Structure 1
Amino acid sequence: MFAAYVTVTILGAVFNGAAAVTYLSGHEYPKTQADMKGLPRKWVPVLGLLLAAGTVGLLAGLAVPVLGTLAAIGLVLYFIGAITAHLRVGSHDIVGGIVFLLTASAALVLGLVHHGAW
């Protein structure tokens, strides 16, 4: 179980870290996504910081389990919001969001199984 927990946590950190870099580097993709969802572009760096915080939290959770649990919960909520935002505007391009959501959910569940609730 430990190997699965570490693998999924690192995979989630890589996914979210790459997304955070995309959002924080000024790449055009997050801007077009914000436009499509009707969000102000000034939210893009904030969303990138949330992804970065989730990444750091997942990795810190390997040493301090409560941080990993809180980060995984935050990422689950983030991606529920992202998927909801897509569906709200009629976009069904949610496969990526679902993959990120499932990865964060798996990190949360495996962390709880491995470490316990707190």
Structure 2
Amino acid sequence: MSTIAIVFALVGALMVGFSAYSVFTKAEFVVGPLAEYGVPESIWTFLGVAKAAGAVGLVVGVFVPLIGVAAAIGIALYFAGAVITTFRAKAYAHAVFPIMYAAPAVVALSLGFSG
């Protein structure tokens, strides 16, 4: 795995981990839009757990590439769902945020966890 791929994996893990932490602590800048988009509060904890698992998976992926690949794919799919959610809520300007959180994981995946 190249140094730059490791850097992107770790930056992605930090970003997604922060996003998970923000859900767990019910930070207004995260849960406010979730409520606005109509995401049921009953699944917010699950969303935080999914993000946390993705963040841990990216870190583990530095040492076990297959885990990193799975985590990066999971993060990409998770945040693709978030983009769709913003579009369905007609909050088009907010779509940039999930893209921004997914980008480092996607870059790490494209640079190759196995190289």
Query: TM-score, length-normalised on structure 2?
Result: 0.91
Q: State the distance in 2 between where 1:23 and 1:31 align.
A: 7
RMSD: 1.4
Q: Is the 8 A contact 2:17 2:55 kept in 1?
A: yes
Q: Is the 8 A contact 1:9 1:107 kept in 2?
A: yes
Q: State the distance in 2 between where 1:55 and 1:34 align.
A: 20
Q: State the distance in 2 between where 1:108 and 1:24 align.
A: 27
CA deviation digits over 1:62-91, x for unaligned, max 9?
A: 111100000000000001000000001100
Three-state SS of the structure 2 residue aligned to 1:39 is: coil
Higher relative contact order (CA 8 A, sep 6+): 2
Q: Which residue of 2 aligns with 1:109?
A: 110
Q: Supply the AA of the counterpart residue of 1:31.
A: V
Q: Is the 8 A contact 1:54 1:74 kept in 2?
A: yes
Q: State the distance in 1 between where 2:17 and 2:52 align.
A: 6
Q: Which residue of 2 aligns with 1:31?
A: 31
* Structure 1 position 4, deviation (Å): 0.8
Gaps of 5+ in 1: none
Q: Which residue of 2 aligns with 1:79?
A: 79
* More divergent stretch after superposition (52-61 vs 86-95): 86-95
* Structure 1 position 42, deviation (Å): 1.4
* Structure 1 position 32, deviation (Å): 1.4
Runs of 4+ in 1 over 4 A off after TM superposition: none
Instruction: Number of aligned residue pairs: give it.
Output: 114
Three-state SS of the structure 2 residue aligned to 1:42 is: helix
* Structure 1 position 33, deviation (Å): 1.8
* Structure 1 position 108, deviation (Å): 1.2
Q: State the distance in 2 between where 1:16 and 1:109 align.
A: 18
Mapping for residues 84-99 of structure 1, pairs under 5 Å: 84-92=84-92, 93-99=94-100
